[in-house]
Amino acid sequence: QAEKALTEDQKSQIATLNAQLAALRRQLQSLQEALEAAEAKDKEQNAQIENLSQRLNAALARKVQELQEVRSRFFEALRTALAGRTDVKVVGDRFVLGSDVLFGSCSAALSEAGKLEL
C-alpha cells in the first residue's frame, strides 16, 4: 500500500504540472483569440481593398472616357479647321503634311514656310 500511495513530493509535482497545463491552455486560448481577431481584421481590410480597387477602376474608366471625348472633339475641330486645305490629308486620327511643305529640297531643317504651316 505504501507503493500505491503518492508521496507529498509526487503530489506537489502533479499540482505543478496541472498548473503549468492550465497556464498553457490559457495561453493557447489567448493566442487563438488573437489569431481570430487578426483574421477578421485581414478579411475586413481585404474587403476594403477590393472596394477601393473597384472605385479606382471606375474612376479611371470615367477619366479614360472623358479624355477620349476631349480627344475626339479636338480632332473634329482640327478636321473642320483644316477642311479646305489640300496640302493636309486626314488619315484616321492623324494629319499628314507633305514633306515639301515643311522642308526645303534636300534639307533636314524646318523651313520658314514650314514653321508658318505648323
pLDDT of residue 1: 52
Residue 76's pLDDT is 87
* CA-wise closest residue to 114 among 106, 104, 105: 104
Residue identified by cell 483574421 is 39
Least reliable range by pLDDT among 41-45, 69-73, 104-108: 104-108
pLDDT at 80: 86
Tallying the residues shown for the chain, one arrives at 118
Rounded mean pLDDT, 17-29? 98
Query: In the predicted model, what is the mean pLDDT of residues 58-82?
Result: 92
**pLDDT for 25 beyond 90:** yes
The alpha-helical segments, DSSP class H, found in the chain are 8-81, 99-102, 112-117
Which is nearest to 59 in space by CA: 69, 51, 48? 51
Beta bridge partners of 96: 89
